Chain A
Amino acid sequence: MALRLRSSLSKSNFFNILRYNNLGFGTASQTTRHLRTHDPTTLLRVSQNPITRFCNTMAEKLSSVGEHEDANAQVMDFPGGKVAFTPEIKFISESSKERVPCYRVLDDNGQLITNSHFVQVSEEVAVKMYSDMVTLQIMDNIFYEAQRQGRLSFYATTIGEEAINIASAAALSPQDVIFPQYREPGVLLWRGFTLQEFANQCFGNKSDNGKGRQMPVHYGSNKLNYFTVSATIATQLPNAVGAAYSLKMDKKDACAVTYFGDGGSSEGDFHAALNFAAVMEAPVLFICRNNGWAISTPTSDQFRSDGLVVKGRAYGIRSIRVDGNDALAMYSAVHTAREMAITEERPILIEALTYRVGHHSTSDDSTRYRSADEIEWWNKARNPLSRLRTWIESNGWWSDEEESDLRSRIKKEMLEALRVAEKTEKPNLENMFSDVYDVPPLNLREQERQVRQTIKSYPQDYPSDVPL
Chain B
Amino acid sequence: MSAILQGAGAGAAAALTPFNSIDSNKFVAPSRSSLSVRSKSYIVAGSDDGTNKSFGSSSLIARRSQPLMIPNAVTATKADTAASSTSLKSGHELLLYEALQEGLEEEMDRDPHVCVMGEDVGHYGGSYKVTKGLADKFGDLRVLDTPICENAFTGMGIGAAMTGLRPIIEGMNMGFLLLAFNQISNNCGMLHYTSGGQFTIPVVIRGPGGVGRQLGAEHSQRLESYFQSIPGIQMVACSTPYNAKGLMKAAIRSENPVILFEHVLLYNLKESIPDEEYICNLEEAEMVRPGEHITILTYSRMRYHVMQAAKTLVNKGYDPEVIDIRSLKPFDLHTIGNSVKKTHRVLIVEECMRTGGIGASLTAAINENFHDYLDAPVMCLSSQDVPTPYAGTLEEWTVVQPAQIVTAVEQLCQ
A446: B residues at CB distance < 8 A: 6, 10-13
Instruction: Return B131 CB to nearest CB of chain A, in Å.
Output: 13
Q: Is the CB of A441 closer than 8 A to any CB of chain B?
A: yes
| Stretch with Cβ within 8 A of B (4 or more), from A54-62, A206-214, A371-379 | A206-214
Neighbour of B13 across the interface among A241, A249, A449, CB < 8 A: A449
* A348 CA to B167 CA, complexed, in Å: 24
Residues of chain B contacted by A276 (CB below 8 angstroms): 146-147, 149, 152-153, 156
Contact with B along A192-214 (1 / 0, CB 8 A): 00000000000000001111011
Q: Which of B1-57 contact A (CB under 8 A)?
A: 1-2, 4-6, 8-13, 16, 30-31, 34, 37-38
Q: Which of the listed residues B8, B182, B183, B193 has the most CB atoms from chain A within 10 Å of its own CB?
A: B193
Complex-state Cα separation, A276 to B9, whole angstroms:
38
State the CA gap A269–B152 with chains docked (Å). Answer: 6
Roughly how many angstroms separate A439 CA and B200 CA in the complex, as a whole number? 12
Complex alpha-carbon distance, A213 and B149, angstroms: 30
A220 in contact with B192 (CB, 8 Å): no
Residues of A within 8 A of B31 (CB): 442
Q: How near does chain B come to A316, taking the closest CB pair, in angstroms? A: 12
Q: Which residue of A lies closest to B254 (CB)?
A: A438
| Interface pair B198/A220, CB less than 8 Å apart | yes
Q: Mark A409-450, 1 if CB is under 8 A from B, else 0.
A: 000000000000000000000000011111111110111011
Indicate whether B142 reaches chain A with its CB closer than 8 angstroms.
yes
Chain A's closest residue to B142 (CB) is A249
Contacts of B195 in A (CB 8 A): 209-210, 220, 222, 227-228
* Residues from 22 to 49 in A contacting B, C-beta threshold 8 Å: 27, 29, 32-33
Q: A245-B156, A436-B232, A446-B12 are in contact. Are A268 and B151 (CB under 8 A)?
A: yes
Residues of A within 8 A of B190 (CB): 230
Cα A236 to Cα B163 in complex, Å, equals: 13
Q: Which residue of A lies closest to B167 (CB)?
A: A242
Q: Is B333 an interface residue (CB 8 A)?
A: yes
Q: Is B178 an interface residue (CB 8 A)?
A: no
A94 touches B (CB below 8 Å): no
Interfacial residues of chain B within 178-230, with CB under 8 A of chain A in the complex = 182-183, 186-187, 190-200
Separation in Å of the A222 CB from the closest CB of chain B?
4
Q: A268-B151, A451-B2 are in contact. Are A245 and B160 (CB under 8 A)?
A: yes
Does B396 touch A at the CB level, under 8 Å? Answer: no
What is the total number of residues of chain B having a CB less than 8 Å from a CB of chain A? 70
Q: Is the pair B155, A27 in contact by a Cβ cutoff of 8 Å?
A: no
B197 and A243 contacting across the interface, CB-CB below 8 Å:
no
Could you tell me which residues of chain B, from 55 to 94, have a CB within 8 Å of some CB in chain A?
none
Q: How far in angstroms is the closest Cβ of chain A from B163? A: 4
Please, how many angstroms separate the alpha-carbon atoms of A275 and B195 in the complex?
28
In the complex the two chains form, is A442's CB within 8 Å of B30's CB?
Answer: yes
Least CB distance from B299 to A in Å reads 18
Q: Using A445-B30, A450-B5 as known contacts, say yes or no to A246 and B165 having CB atoms under 8 A apart.
A: yes
Interface residues of A in 238-259 (CB under 8 A from B): 238-243, 245-250, 256
Q: A213-B196, A238-B155 are in contact. Are A279 and B147 (CB under 8 A)?
A: yes
- Please indicate the chain A residues that have their CB under 8 angstroms from the CB of B133 in the complex: none
A461 interface hit (Cβ, 8 Å): yes
B123 and A228: CB pair below 8 A?
no
Contact B234 A238 (CB under 8 A): no
Interface hits, A255-269 → B, CB 8 Å: 256, 268-269
- Is the CB of B403 closer than 8 A to any CB of chain A? no
Contacts A211-B196, A230-B187: A268 and B13 contacting too (C-beta < 8 A)? no
> Shortest beta-carbon distance, B122 to chain A, in Å?
8
Taking CB atoms, residues of chain B closer than 8 Å to A218 are 194
Q: Complex formed: what's the CA distance from A230 to B162 in Å?
A: 13
Judge if B277 is at the interface, Cβ distance under 8 Å.
Answer: no
User: Which among B187, B198, B255, B334 is the interface contact of A235 at CB below 8 angstroms?
Assistant: B187
Is B2's CB under 8 angstroms from A454's CB? yes
Q: How far is the CB of A418 from chain B (nearest CB, A)?
A: 21
The verdict on A64 contacting chain B, using a C-beta distance below 8 Å, is no
Q: Considering only CB atoms, which chain A residue lies closest to B369 in the complex? A: A446
Interface residues of A in 157-199 (CB under 8 A from B): 177, 179
Residue in chain A with minimal CB distance to B149: A272
B159 touches A256 (CB 8 A): yes
Query: Please, which residues of chain B bring their CB within 8 A of the CB of A256?
Result: 159, 163
Given contact pairs A235-B182, A235-B186, A242-B158, a sample of 5 additional A-B residue pairs in the complex whose CB atoms are under 8 Å apart: A210-B195, A213-B194, A231-B186, A273-B156, A438-B254
What are 5 A-B contacts defined by CB distance under 8 Å?
A220-B194, A220-B196, A235-B187, A249-B165, A450-B5
Seen from chain B, the residues whose Cβ lies within 8 Å of a Cβ on chain A are 1-2, 4-6, 8-13, 16, 30-31, 34, 37-38, 115, 123-124, 140-142, 144-147, 149, 151-165, 167, 182-183, 186-187, 190-200, 231-232, 234, 254-256, 283, 330-331, 333-334
What 5 pairs across the A-B complex have the smallest Cβ distances?
A238-B155, A239-B159, A242-B159, A272-B152, A242-B156
